[in-house]
Structure 1
Amino acid sequence: MKTEWNDLGVKLSEPILQTLKDLNFIKTTPVQAACIPLLLQKKDVCAEAVTGSGKTLAFIIPILEILLARSTPLKKHDIGALIISPTRELASQIDEVLSKFLEHLPQFTHLQMIGGAHTVVQDIKEFTSKGAHIIITTPGRFMDLLIRQGDKINLAGGLKALEILILDEADRLLDLGFHATLNTILGFLPKQRRTGLFSATQTREVESLARAGLRNPVAVTVKEKNIGGDGSRTPSSLANYYMVCEGNQKLAALISLMKTKAPGKFMVFMSTCAAVEYFSLLLKHFLPSVTVMSIHGKLKTTRFKIFDKFRSLKTTGLLVCTDVMARGIDIADIDWVFQFDAPSCASDFVHRCGRTARIGNHGTALAFLLPNEEPYVHFIDINQKVKLSPMELPDDLPDNLDEIRQMQLNDRSLMDRATRAFVSYIHSYVKHECSVLLRVKDLDFGRLAVGFGLLTLPKMPELKNRKTDFFKPLDIDLNTIAYKEKAREKIRQEKLTIYRETGVWPSSKANSGPMKKNESWSEQRAQKNRKKEKKKLRVEQKKRKRAAVDEDEWNELARDARLLKKLKKRKISEKSFEKQFNKADAAPSETT
């Protein structure tokens, strides 16, 4: 049920109402109607709402109203509001919305502190020269700036004026491992503040963070209801489907659906960065009339530019991405979301779907599942309360294998990408959260290899004694395949000459010693964990040693203080004091 802005029970300022009118936000969403009055009534709020429900305005409007209501204006370097977001893309979106409101409220300054867009030096220069009454940031960058000394920036001092803290996508913040960072940041903030914690899911970790950072919070839960009356984790305007297809059919099915559903905007989620890089190149080739872009977590500097370009795209566009784009990202008019692979975390299934059908709009989401993955449908229904309807595989799927292989024969770099994508996919499958249902041993590796368009199967222990008979390797010497890039090919040829003469490839560090036997991913992971444990143990031992030393020093200081106190009160003579004091100083040397 939606409400008029004037019916919230709290009066909104004219500049805010004007901005809402400019942005064509006529009515509130349920989460806005619930949270705005509570935050303006000096309550802490812990809000859970389905993805795409309008959470951003639910905290931006209270922030501005709270700052407007201050009895004294904020000084240049006073920070009145702090918004912490899990990713730079989401932070940029929040900044964009806030900027619209600040066009009518020029007395407030704001600053976005995130990686990629600016360097730390630029952020310091911006804050020192202009200040920022509202800061939108990510935990890592803000923590870095907060604890800096000697760079002429004093964020800790500015935070003394803080009126309100917002933790957006709190579940994602914790999933990304920011719990300790957030607790450190909370330690710098004044106790007398309002706090809003917004999340798509309420986990134990989120509840723990709420207990640490909020005072007697009001819990707000906004959920869509389906026809049967059960609480659904996805908007009612979203149509959710799944399609069962073999590993060698997935790409062809995706291309076929793209051709039939265009024009529009589409997103394809894949499990690994390598898969995103490889399949985006194939999709560009097979869908020449579609603007294909790709984003994954390893694109640190160009990620936001690509994201912004896709958002502003007016023609048919396809964004191939990993789960870095699964949460909080608001791209207008996404028509279809395709899940090429099942996400490693069940909750990400919901967040992926939530990129479409946002704020009342209609959208469609489709998950491609291998035959052995069909039980995942029931698991998502039970675990995430999302019901999926079956969709039939398109007729007359094209066989693209020969064309993909020819592309690799024309450019070795594409062959390298294909192999990396396949290997990374198998590794991600091994560590899948739902490995009880999605078991590696049930995969048809032969059909998967065909789906990736491989020329030959890579040498990896995970393929030993696995089903691969569907795959027919190309009878070719892979060393004859050249890179299109001439400089790169020249280097490869020089190394190939050395290899043929010595039998050792010259570039690898492993060649400096005896060659190692291939190890499975699980064994590599186990070794890595053992090294981490050893390192952790060494650090803890050092800490204990330091703590023991510190305790001894404190004990000595306490003893000296007691002696001085006795001397001042004339309970002991100066001669007795010097004797005991010198004796205590000599004690350590006697024991060494």
Structure 2
Amino acid sequence: MVIKDWTKITPTLSQPVLNCIKKQGFATMTPIQAAVIPLILSCKDVVAEAVTGSGKTLAFVVPMLELLMKRAKEQSLRKDFVYAVIISPTRELALQIFKVIEQFLEEPELQHISLSLLVGGRSIEADAESMKKGAQIAVCTPGRFQDLLAERKQLNLPGRVKDLEFLVLDEADRLLDLGFTATLNTILQYLPRQRRTGLFSATQTKELQDLVRAGLRNPVLISVKEKASISTPIALENYYVIVEPQDKLLFLLNFIRNRKIWKGLFFLPTCACVDYWAHVLPALLPDITIFAIHGKMKQKRNKVLESFRLAENAILLCTDLMARGLDIPAVQWVLQWEPPSSPAALVHRAGRAARAGAPGCSLLPLLPAEEAYVPFIRANQQVVLQDWALSGDRLIVTDKLRNKVLSVLHAQQRRDRAALDKGQRAFVSHVQAYSKHECGLLLRLRELPLGHVASSYGLLKLPRMPELTPEHRRQFGAPAAGDLACIPYCDRQREASRLLKLDEYKKTGVWPSKKKKKIVQTKPWEQAKQNKLDKQDRRKKRKDLKKKNNEEGKGKKRRAVTQEELDELAADVALIKKLKKRKISDDQFDKAFKVDK
């Protein structure tokens, strides 16, 4: 599609919107903007699919403001009504969209339009109060918006959205992945059907198609890709490298130092992994600022993200919370500890680099047993991974580097028990996450050398886990020398509590805890998952067999009751009533029922 000038769009955009677009430096439209904006302005519902970083936010913000300005000319906008709702999966993405709209509303002709941000992590009363003051545009997360619609009766939000003009579901497939299907269905029940709706996403799924059928009327499907054969931005270079499990951390450290990074995102599998590496990496990368963010950080996330945006030489450790929609223009590299649990997530992770046509790269380390992931992701997601070994940049892992890194990690764990605990939790959560991979046929837990993986975490000892075998313990080697129970917490309060528990343990032989845990026989994650799948399969087979028998007439049928049996039952009931009323004697009753005495 030919990229158009903003002034040549039909219908023509208003001057205030054009002025703001010019101030932000968007001289021309991207293909997705050129395709979507005219359709929305002509009152069409739209389902838009485009690669990440292609400008989807402006594709719905611009027509939304145009629709509101047109409505304001026809009839004044009521202060207490909501005319546009934008729903995003995470509060970070919602905040980013909120700031984009704020820039437009700085124009004098648009300042009369009110805007509100409704997200979790803060008081719901504050959001309810902001809605009472007036919010003609609401940018929200689904859970908070549903609460305001259904639970805050005094707010009467259902009455305020009855004239809704425009609904946007941004990163719609992610909304469904996070389990918001029921929430979205509830929200749609409160909204008027006479509205414009836009669904924006980088990938299409079956669940998304179901939502399209439920929430849109005769939508136009727009799919814009820069090349038919790939689903990531054309300026993005995706690499993979085969490394031994015990050398993964060492390779990545060498890689970062050789690039003299800069600014990058480092995706880790779990929140516990983010906490551990955020604790130990500053000592290994002293020249780079390390930031950390994950879903369990409720209050600090916006502050951390803003600090990372302003930093010049920094790495942000994160989970897939950061994989969708967020626009950080200066990101040059996206690093990943391992393949994401969902193949589609690889597209979104890598897409945090190469935003809006800028160059960018991503790197995915793979273990030798995971090499089949490369052709799989090419066929499944149209993502071409190039072999980093062919780039000519050889990064050699030496024994000197290994000993130095391990000594630093071990020293941190011996100095502060918090680091030891975080390392153990990170490794356990990593193994659990690996067992839940969607592409489990390629990434098999039983083929993962867990002893070597634990070595890459720099652990002092292996945790107690049913997945660990004698072979894994041989791979890891002997635990670190010394009594690990003597390692203290730097936090005095935690250390005092630990010492009290340790004394009680020495007396009773049982480690005290707040709650008495029910003793159950533990099973490996992979085995527990397989047992669950087997149970579901058996249940499905029974259900199918029952259905088949019913169709063939082989199911159990209740025998029909004859009229003779009904008459006999009525006579018996009549005799019982006569006995109760003393119209017959006990002997007569027994004789009638042929009771032998």
Q: TM-score band, normalised by the shorter chain?
A: 0.7 to 0.9
Identify the residue that residue 407 of structure 2 maps to in structure 1. 402
Other-structure match for 1:587: none
In structure 2, give the amino acid aligned to 1:89. E
Q: Which residue of 2 aligns with 1:369?
A: 366
Q: How far apart are the structure 1 equivalents of 2:124 and 2:139?
A: 14
**Which deviations, in whole Å up to 9, do the C-alpha atoms of 1:288-313 show, x marking residues without a partner?**
12111011111122112211221222
Where does residue 45 of structure 1 map in the other structure? Answer: 46
For structure 1, list consecutive stretches of 5 or more residues without a partner in the other structure: 533-592
- Deviation digits for residues 367-416 of structure 1, max 9, x if unmatched? 01111111101110010011111113512442111221111011111000
Q: Which among 511, 524, 531 is matched to residue 520 of structure 1?
A: 524
Mapped partners of 1:454, 1:85: distance in 2 = 39
User: For 1:297-330, what per-residue CA distance to the aligned partner results, in whole angstroms no more than 9, with x for missing partners?
Assistant: 11122112211221222x2010000001001111
- Where 2:476 maps in the other structure, the secondary structure is coil
| Alpha-carbon spacing, 1:531–1:470, altered in 2? closer, same or farther (3 Å) | closer
Shift of 1:179: 1.0
What is residue 319 of structure 1 aligned with on the other side?
316
* Structure 2: distance between partners of 1:525 and 1:381: 27
For the pair 1:432 / 2:437, whether they are aligned, the reply is yes
Give the Cα–Cα distance (whole angstroms) in 2 for the partners of residues 222 and 298 of structure 1: 35
Deviates more, 1:1-10 or 1:236-245: 1-10
Pair 1:310 & 2:315 matched = no
Whether the aligned pair in 2 keeps the contact of 1:445 and 1:466 (CA below 8 Å) is no
Q: Distance in 1 between matches of 2:10 and 2:472?
A: 65
SS at match of 1:421: helix
Matched residue SS, 1:483: coil
Q: Is the 8 A contact 1:444 1:468 kept in 2?
A: no
Q: What's the offset of the Cα at 1:494?
A: 1.0
| RMSD between superposed Cα atoms in Å | 1.9
Q: 1:522 to 1:242 in 2, by over 3 A?
A: closer
Deviates more, 1:256-265 or 1:295-304: 256-265
1:256-276 residue CA offsets vs partner (Å, 9 max, x unmatched): 111121242100001111111
Contact map agreement 1:31 1:54 (CA 8 A) in 2: yes
Tell me, yes or no, if structure 1 residue 458 matches structure 2 residue 470. Answer: no
Aligned amino acid, residue 421 of structure 2: D
Number of residue equivalences: 522
Structure 1 residues 36, 144: closer, same or farther in 2, change over 3 A?
same
- List runs of 5+ in structure 2 lacking aligned partners: 537-597
* Partner residue, 2:187: 185
Are the structure 2 counterparts of residues 271 and 505 from structure 1 closer, same or farther at C-alpha, using a change threshold of 3 Å?
A: same
Answer whether contact 2:280 2:412 (CA < 8 A) is retained: no
Structure 1 position 522, deviation (Å): 4.8
Q: Which residue of 2 aligns with 1:256?
A: 254
TM-score, normalisation: structure 1: 0.85
2:425 to 411, 420, 429: 420
Determine if the alignment matches structure 1 residue 276 to structure 2 residue 274.
yes
Secondary structure in structure 2 of the residue aligned to 1:232: coil
SS at match of 2:38: helix
Q: Which residue of 2 aligns with 1:95?
A: 98
Task: Find the counterpart in structure 2 of residue 488 from structure 1.
Answer: 494
**Partner secondary structure for residue 234 of structure 2:** coil
Paired with 1:526 and 1:491, the residues of 2 have a C-alpha distance of 40
Offset of 1:21 from its aligned partner? 0.9
Cα deviation, 1:328-377, whole Å, max 9, x if unaligned, reads 11112100000111100000000000000011110000001111111101
Measured against aligned partners, the alpha-carbon deviations of 1:25-71 in whole angstroms (never above 9, x if no partner) come to 10100000000000000111110001110000000000000000011
Show the counterpart of 1:245. 243
Q: How far apart in 1 are the matches of 2:326 and 2:12?
A: 30
* Contact preservation (8 Å) 2:274, 2:318: yes
CA contact (8 A) 2:251 2:396 kept: no
User: Which amino acid is the alignment partner of residue 491 of structure 2?
Assistant: E
> Contact 2:247–2:397 (CA<8 Å) still a contact in 1?
no
* 1:140 paired to 2:143: yes
Cα distance, 1:508 vs structure 2: 5.0
Q: Do residues 384 (structure 1) and 381 (structure 2) align?
A: yes
Q: Quick one: structure 1 residues 142 and 416, their matched pair in 2 at CA, closer, same or farther if it must change by over 3 Å?
A: same
Shift of 1:190: 1.0
Question: Residue 139 of structure 2 aligns to which amino acid in structure 1?
Answer: I
Q: Is the 8 A contact 2:250 2:397 kept in 1?
A: no
1:168 aligned residue: 170
TM-score, L = length of structure 2: 0.85
